[in-house]
């Protein structure tokens, strides 16, 4: 395996000059840079990242703990993190916490043990006090996405769940719907709490309350939408619209409607939240609230990089907005009946 000494001898320059090219720090003439890059390619030289980390006291690795890397939503957050840190020469280590305090604690400690320079956290449970102490002693900067369950966070990135949900419910109300069902996510999850507050705010604008609609809570999952839809349709069919607290819930509800021989929006209007990759391919295409999870990851990573370079000292905070995407799954109640 080629060493830095091999590169310096072949290129006819000093080891320190090669080191400056490899690290991207310090001045090197353009002629020497090109020569060194050619020699590196010819010899297949790869710098010893562990040795560099020991010398600099930096691993150049960013840790990220999210709820479940196996889902498209959190995979997109990780995509945003990686896009932001790559130009800074950082690598990425990822783990899932599965919205479980013990799993989240294990994932965070793994990041500390592997000497991550900083950690992006998307937690659904309060960080265990012993883990807080571990992070504190390690002096590792942390940025949180969503509800802040880490008292040491130097930065925080929030999705405007409240305004997104208020916009969605307001849209249904503006279309004339009053007999509405809201299929919320897990009421213990921060996003679900904020979205429910947004629903409540939109209702209050026209003198209604949550008591005037039906609210059901479950997991952010297709199965909840399907099972809740089947149960609803067995019990009642007088509602004209459903606001699904996530597109995946809406997808499950679509299935329940199809099984009952009902159509969207002719029989029941449906609006979602997320604008996931499948929303525009549903039949009919889903009207929904668009959020950009990669923007959450990118903003969190940029905050973390600022903390690492010392350009910002914190606490930092950013709010990532949402927008309404109108497709064809919502109609006015009287128009829907005329079409049917």
What is the DSSP pairing of strand 287-290 with strand 323-325? Answer: antiparallel
| Model pLDDT for residues 120-174, shown as the tens digit of each residue | 999 999 999 999 999 999 999 999 999 889 999 999 999 999 999 999 999 999 9
pLDDT score of 315: 85
Domain boundaries, the chain: 4-47, 60-160+294-321, 161-291+324-339
Q: Average model confidence (pLDDT) for the chain?
A: 91
Q: In CATH terms, are 60-160+294-321 and 161-291+324-339 the same topology?
A: yes
**What mean pLDDT is predicted for residues 195-216?**
98
- Judge contact between 112 and 138, C-beta under 8 A: yes
Superfamily of domain 60-160+294-321: Response regulator (3.40.50.2300)
| Model pLDDT for residues 252-298, shown as the tens digit of each residue | 999 999 999 999 999 999 999 999 889 999 999 999 999 999 999 99
Instruction: Give whole-number Cα distances, 96 to 145, 153, 291, in Å.
Output: 14, 19, 21
Strand partners, 273: 289
Query: Residue 204 above 90 pLDDT?
Result: yes
Query: Residue 56 above 50 pLDDT?
Result: no
pLDDT score of 335: 60
Give the other-Cβ count within 10 Å of 331's Cβ. 25
- Judge contact between 77 and 122, C-beta under 8 A: yes
- Judge contact between 287 and 272, C-beta under 8 A: yes
3-class SS of residue 12: coil
Strand partners, 93: 63
| Model pLDDT for residues 105-122, shown as the tens digit of each residue | 999 999 999 999 999 999
Q: For 315-333, what is the HEC assignment?
A: CEEEEECCEEECCCCCCCH
Token duo for residue 179: 């007999």
Question: 0.85 exceeded by the pTM?
Answer: no
Chain length of the chain:
340
**What mean pLDDT is predicted for residues 42-57?**
62
Q: Regarding the domain delimited by 161-291+324-339, which CATH topology (the fold level of the hierarchy) does it fall under?
A: Rossmann fold (3.40.50)
pLDDT score of 59: 79
Token duo for residue 284: 């009919």
pLDDT score of 188: 85
Which of 239, 262, 127 minimizes the C-alpha distance to 177?
239
Cis status, amide bond into 280, omega within 30 of 0: no
Q: Regarding the domain delimited by 4-47, which CATH topology (the fold level of the hierarchy) does it fall under?
A: 434 Repressor (Amino-terminal Domain) (1.10.260)
**Residue 58: pLDDT band with limits 50, 70, 90:** low
Token duo for residue 86: 């790559």
pLDDT score of 25: 67
**180-196 exposure pattern, b = at least 16 Cβ within 10 A, e = fewer:** bbbbbbbeebbbbbbbb
């Amino acid at each position: 395996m080629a060493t830095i000494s091999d590169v310096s001898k072949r290129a006819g320059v000093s080891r320190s000059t090669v080191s400056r090219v490899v690290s991207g720090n310090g001045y090197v003439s353009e002629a020497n840079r090109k020569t060194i890059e050619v020699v590196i390619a010819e010899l297949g030289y790869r710098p010893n990242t562990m040795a560099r980390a020991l010398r600099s006291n930096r691993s150049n690795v960013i840790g990220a703990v999210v709820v479940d890397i196996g889902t498209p939503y959190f995979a997109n957050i990780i995509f945003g993190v990686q896009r932001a840190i790559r130009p800074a020469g950082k690598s990425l280590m990822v783990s899932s916490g599965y919205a479980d305090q013990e799993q989240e604690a294990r994932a965070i400690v793994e990041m500390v043990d592997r000497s991550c320079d900083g950690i992006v956290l998307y937690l659904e449970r309060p960080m265990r006090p012993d883990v807080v102490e571990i992070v504190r002693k390690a002096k590792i900067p942390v940025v949180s996405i969503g509800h802040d369950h880490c008292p040491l966070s130097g930065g925080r990135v929030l999705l405007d769940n409240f305004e997104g949900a208020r916009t969605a419910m307001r849209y249904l109300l503006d279309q004339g719907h009053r007999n509405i069902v809201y299929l919320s996510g897990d009421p213990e999850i921060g996003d679900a709490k904020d979205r429910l507050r947004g629903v409540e705010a939109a209702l209050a604008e026209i003198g209604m309350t949550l008591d005037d609609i039906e609210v059901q809570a479950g997991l952010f999952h297709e199965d909840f939408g399907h099972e809740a839809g089947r149960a609803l349709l067995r019990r009642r069919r007088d509602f004209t619209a459903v606001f699904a607290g996530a597109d995946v819930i809406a997808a499950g509800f679509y299935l329940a409607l199809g099984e009952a021989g009902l159509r969207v929006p002719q029989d029941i209007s449906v609006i979602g939240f997320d604008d996931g990759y499948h929303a525009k391919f549903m039949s009919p295409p889903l009207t929904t609230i668009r959020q950009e999870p990669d923007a959450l990851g990118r903003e969190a990573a940029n905050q973390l990089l600022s903390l690492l370079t010392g350009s910002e000292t914190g606490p930092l905070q950013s709010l990532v907005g949402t927008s309404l995407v109108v497709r064809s799954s919502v109609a006015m109640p009287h128009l829907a009946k005329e079409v049917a």
